[in-house]
Structure 1
Amino acid sequence: MQISTSLSTTNEIEHGTAKFYQHVLNALNSSGVPYLVGGAYAFHHYTGIIRDTKDLDLFIRRRDFDLISAALHESGYRTELTYPHWLGKLFFNGDFIDLIFSSGNGVAEVDDAWFDFAPQVDMLGVPVRLSPPEEMIWSKSFIMERERFDGADIAHLLRTCAEQLDWQRMLRRFDAHWRILLCHVILFGFIYADERELIPAWVVDELLDRLRVDTHAAQAECRICFGTLLSREQFLPDIMQWGYRDARLFPHGHMSEQDTVTWTDAIKNKR
């Protein structure tokens, strides 16, 4: 696995922003509330790829949001619960940090296991722990918007991490959504044709066996669209016009009706 010796230096990001990140990370370490560094910084650590980013992604458990907010308020920062099903934000002088406790589709919820397998590294001179590569792959695998597709990130993570991944845990993470993992495994074999063996053969066999069984099984009776787990916008006609049930909602998903409305309204705000 390729790793960097340090996630970032003050030469790679603006000095004021670096100081902001350092202060926040030290404040969180002093609070004792667990968090993980993810996003571009974790991606750099695992792949060696440097990506210009305008913010810092911290992954937390939903139940810890109020504790983290209180700790940061004591240090002079303002937080907001931007999307109750997904993330909050921390603001300071034009910079911000995302406090993430799930994925936008409600699937990849941050739980205790994220912390059980998180490696410790140094970032800007501060000891931090990273989101594990298994959980990064899991959460990124569902991002297939018109304006953003994280398939290349998955391929790069698999290229550098595949031989060290806990594939049993990966299969448990994807659970009923194993077809998404199969899609990325197939794409990896296309992208890196001479490195296909990095994906264990038993993983490919397991996923193909599931596909074979599922192909010959009886079809589901209810009309449900799982496309909303991949894109919050592109499958809205299926839900709003064509009578499909939204897989983000109970019993298939973890989002409430209000969560989906808020998440859909955010499309206009982003534009």
Structure 2
Amino acid sequence: MQTTISNQEHDIDPDTMDFYRRVLETLNESGMPFLVGGAYAFNHYTGVNRQTRDLDLFICRRDYERISQVLLPAGFETELTFPHWLGKIRFRDTYIDLIFSSGNAIAEVDDAWFDHAIDAEVMGIPTKFCPVEEMIWSKAFIMERERFDGADVIHLLLTRAEEMDWQRLLDRFEPHWRILLSHFILFGFIYPAHRNLIPTWIMDNLLERLEHEVHTDPPETDICQGTLLSREQYLTDIHQQGLKDGRIMPFGNMTPKDTKRWTDAIAGDHDPN
């Protein structure tokens, strides 16, 4: 299936455009590894004309401090907004996200992101886009009340199925294979004439796991993994019902301090001002 690359820059004011370009050029000159994701990569892969005023850069966590040092002489300050997944490059009232994991700390950026990235150009500057498999992996868990990235996952599957590394995609979702299966089931519902784009072997693999699990006793630990999908909608299960939080070690990759900081930020995100 053919895709087109939309022109996303016309809606960005000149000062912001200059900020984005200068950051990309500075990072290129320094040789620091980074990938462009978000709407720029999504539009390229799917041809969906989604306008954006944001720039998302994906980096390895180990590179955050060095990137900060590279940007400082160019006049750009960074902050480690959420230590478990997100930093920001600030310039006046504008910022660029530096992403090194997902909000649930599952989709961590590692070397494989860069090994499978594709060459691209953003605002006339050579760069690389996040691999489609990793984009699906990170988006598949976003099921907030105010944001659901399932349609993004479905469109990426529709447009990139023929070139997908399905085994690598499956490996990324271990041990959260039920999330991947749920999106595959929705894909067949949304695009019944294209359901064969999902390889039979991977559907058989996941359905066999499901059948085995259905006939197996459930785990003894009363855990809620809904917090991996939404940082807010399952808090009552944790705080009122006493279930274990699926984000926190040893079940997940976050610490209690990480989850508290991530939860405390909800109020600010809901502030209409």
CA separation of 1:233/1:171 partners in 2, compared to 1, >3 Å: closer, same or farther? same
**For the residues of structure 1 that align with 2:11 and 2:220, how far apart are their CA atoms?**
54
Question: How much is the aligned-residue C-alpha RMSD, in angstroms?
Answer: 1.2
1:130 deviates by 0.6
Determine if contact 2:116/2:131 at 8 Å carries over to the other structure.
Answer: yes
What residue is the counterpart of 1:26 in the other structure? 25
Query: Any stretches of 5+ residues in structure 2 without a counterpart?
Result: none
Determine if contact 1:9/1:123 at 8 Å carries over to the other structure.
Answer: no
Which amino acid counterpart does residue 57 of structure 1 have in structure 2? D
1:21 deviates by 1.1
Which amino acid counterpart does residue 140 of structure 1 have in structure 2? K
What residue is the counterpart of 2:172 in the other structure? 173
**What SS is found at the alignment partner of 2:10?**
coil
CA separation of 1:71/1:108 partners in 2, compared to 1, >3 Å: closer, same or farther? same
What residue is the counterpart of 2:189 in the other structure? 190
| 1:41 matches 2:40 | yes
Deviations 1:160-196 (A, max 9, x none): 0111111100111000100000000000001111111
| 1:253 matches 2:252 | yes
Q: Equivalent pairs: percent with the same residue?
A: 59
**What SS is found at the alignment partner of 1:98?**
strand
What residue is the counterpart of 2:102 in the other structure? 103
Deviations 1:207-240 (A, max 9, x none): 1011001111121011011100000001001110
**What SS is found at the alignment partner of 1:176?**
coil
1:9 deviates by 5.8
What residue is the counterpart of 1:207 in the other structure? 206
Determine if contact 1:101/1:110 at 8 Å carries over to the other structure.
Answer: yes
Deviations 1:22-58 (A, max 9, x none): 1110100111110000000000110011222231000
Superposed counterparts of 1:1-271, under 5 Å: 2-4=2-4, 8=7, 10-271=9-270
Please, what TM-score do these two structures have when normalized by structure 2? 0.96
1:156 deviates by 0.5
**What SS is found at the alignment partner of 2:170?**
helix
Equivalenced residue count is: 270
Query: Any stretches of 5+ residues in structure 1 without a counterpart?
Result: none
Following TM superposition, the consecutive aligned residue runs of length 4 or more in structure 1 with deviations greater than 2 angstroms are 1-5, 7-16
**For the residues of structure 2 that align with 1:2 and 1:26, how far apart are their CA atoms?**
30
Deviations 1:43-90 (A, max 9, x none): 011001122223100000000000111111111011100000010011
**What SS is found at the alignment partner of 1:53?**
coil
CA separation of 1:57/1:211 partners in 2, compared to 1, >3 Å: closer, same or farther? same
**What SS is found at the alignment partner of 2:175?**
helix
1:96 deviates by 1.0
